[in-house]
Structure formats: structure tokens, C-alpha cells
Homo-oligomer: A and B are copies of this chain.
Amino acid sequence: MSKPGDIKEIVEGISPVDQEWISKAQARTAQLLMPTRALGRLHEISERLCGIQKTLKPSIDKKGILIMAGDHGIVAEGVSAYPQEITGGMVQAFLAGGAGISAISSHVGAEVWVVDMGIIPEINPADMPNGERLRIKKIAAGTANFLKGPAMTKEQAEEALLTGFAQASELFENGIEILGTGDMGIGNTTPSAAIGAVVTGKSLEDMVGRGTGVDDDGLKQKIETIGKAIAVNQPDATDGLDVLAKVGGFEIGGIAGSILAAAYYGKPVVIDGFISTAGALIACTLCPTVKEYCFSGHCSEEQGHKLMLDHLGLKPILNLGMRLGEGTGGAMAMSVIEGAAKMFKEVLTFEEAGIPGKE
């Protein structure tokens, strides 16, 4: 496909999912060797894959998880229970193996790539195990503290989106059939909650949660901080780029860009948890058609996540009280999505099996 030069060209290049292929898939589902639609959501999932891939033989053999990492100036306000150094440490763990996403992606047969969208430490892929899976695309060494002005400039926000788009595009061009989004960034439930509140219009009390585990005082402070930041920055809820620039993060912009790439290339994308869904909100504000390509991997324990998903009209596949990020919930859900695809391809119809159907 031709490479789009800017966000406008990306949005113009995104088409709705093919309803004819979905109808063809539904017609086959109705004939399958089981009571009508007896596998519930596995049918919906497999039919949407058929629509996205324009086929009755959906395949998601080649799975990729793209983890976007970034640091956050707002951490200076004490919004996280963990020190900021962890962001860089975890990037190394993703490459070395031994993190949550390492185990779950290996279980489901997905490969993991990591993009430094703007973490504070300088890291060198050549010094790392599996360094070829790390891309250094730093927009800056962490965002600015958005309590005192925008987290980034408009130019940086656009750069974050285009970088995420380019990184995911490379995976699709190399044969990845389904993308899982992932994030790492100490403090990033704070910009995500800010984006969630601005885009959905829900209250901060409903949207803001404990992240990695702040206590009651910490939660109160987090809500106050986000409230002040929104008042200071006045983000325009209808303009994803403005919201991203004012109260977002580099990795959230990268995720939004990678989701836009999935829709642009006609590939399914599994949205992980709270931070990834904040990225999806940005992407869908820029182009609502994008959500036709999105599967919600799971519903996070972070309380605002369900409100974000409701706003997008996405129903999570798993609901296991997870709240880690890294792409773990989306990766785990890939196993269900792949099960649905195989079910669709491998189950016979009553006629093919030579068994009489419903009376």
C-alpha cells in the first residue's frame, strides 16, 4: 500500500469492514454442526475476522505485540506507587524475557516488539538481549508535567501518532496478521484517565482508579491533579490530536497510531487495557471507523476502563481482573480469537457431516 504522509491521508485511507463477507460468514455459521449460534461470542469474533480479512478462512497464525514505552512528567506530582526508573528497567525485561507479557505472548505464539517512544533513560539496542526487537523512536525524554501546560507540543503529538503508525505498518508489511497493543510507562494511568474523562465526558471520580496501587490519599490526589490539569489545558474533546498533546503521553500516541495502522492495512487489532484503550479513544476520535477493526482483549480492574469500552461500543473478551498492561490482556485474548477462527474453519456443517439438523 502507498505510505500516507500525514494523519489526514491515514484517515482517508481507512475503509469500513466488509459487510458482505460478514454476511457470508453468518450464513455459514447458521449451518454449523451445533444448535444455532451455540458458541456465542466465538461466532461474532470469527465473523468479524472474516469481514476484516475478506475470507471464509480467517487466519491469525502470525501474531505480534507492539509495546510502546514512555515516561511522564506528571509523575512529579506523586501519582504513581512505583519509581520512574521502572519504565526503562521493564523495557529491558520485555526484551530479555521474564516479564508478564513475555510469558503470555510466548504461550499464545505472539512475537513482541518494543518501541521507545520517549522514556527518560538512553538505551542502546546493541547492549541488549534481542535488541533487534527494540526501536528507539524517542519523541523526547518523557512528557512535560501537564499540570503546568501541555504534555507535549502539537507537532510532538503528530510525530507520536505517525511513529506508532509506521512501526505497526512495518509489522503488517512483514506478515503479522493480528496486532496486540501494549504499553509501559510509570504514571500512565494518569494521562489515560485524563483522556478517558475528556473524551467520554464521564466524571473523574468514575474514571480515575488506583493504577499500580496508590492508597486512598493517593487516589484523591490523583483525581485533584487530573482535574486541575484539565482546567489548565482545556483540551478539545472532539480533537484527538489536541487531547493527546495536552494531557496524553508519547506511548499513548504511539498506540493510537498503531491502531490507525491496523485499520489502514485492514488488520484486526486487539486492544489491551486502560492505557491501550485511551489510545483507542484518540484513534477513534480521529477516525470512528477504526473501531470496526478493534477487539477489546479484556476488561481491566482499573475502574474507568469499562466506561471507555462502553463509549467505544467494544465488549471485552476476557474479564479476569487483570490490570498489568504491557499487552498482557490482549495477548491472552488472542487465544480465544484464534480459537474462534479455527472453529469457523474446522467445524463442518450438518450437511458436510451427513447428520440431520433441527426438526
Contact = CB atoms under 8 A, between A and B. Distances in A.
Contacts of A301: 40
A273 to B, nearest CB: 10
Interface in A311-358: 317-324, 328, 332, 335-336, 338-339, 342-343, 345-348, 352-353, 355-358
Interface in A166-211: none
A321 B319 CA distance: 13
A359 interface: yes
Contact of A100 (B38, B83, B106, B357): B38
B36 A99 contact: no
Given A35-B82, A320-B41, A324-B39, A100 B355 contact: no
A213 B86 CA distance: 53
Interface stretch (A89-97, A133-141, A231-239, A249-257): A89-97
A342 B212 contact: no
Interface string A61-78: 000000000000000000
A353 B98 contact: yes
A328 B33 CA distance: 13
A332 B334 CA distance: 12
A163 interface: no
Contacts of A102: 346-347
Contacts of A30: none
A7 to B, nearest CB: 33
Contacts of A81: 35, 358-359
A284 interface: no
Contacts of A106: 342, 346
A34 B339 contact: no
A356 B86 contact: yes
Contacts of A224: none
A359 B86 CA distance: 11
Contact of A336 (B82, B320, B321, B357): B320
A213 B106 CA distance: 39
A104 interface: yes
A103 interface: yes
A213 B81 CA distance: 51
A219 interface: no
Nearest to A331: B339
Given A35-B323, A348-B98, A343 B42 contact: no
Given A32-B100, A317-B320, 20 more contacts: A33-B90, A33-B100, A35-B81, A35-B324, A38-B212, A38-B323, A38-B324, A39-B328, A40-B320, A42-B320, A82-B359, A93-B353, A98-B346, A98-B352, A99-B348, A100-B343, A107-B338, A318-B336, A320-B336, A335-B335
Interface of A: 32-36, 38-42, 81-83, 85-86, 89-90, 93, 96-100, 102-104, 106-108, 212-213, 301, 317-324, 328, 332, 335-336, 338-339, 342-343, 345-348, 352-353, 355-359
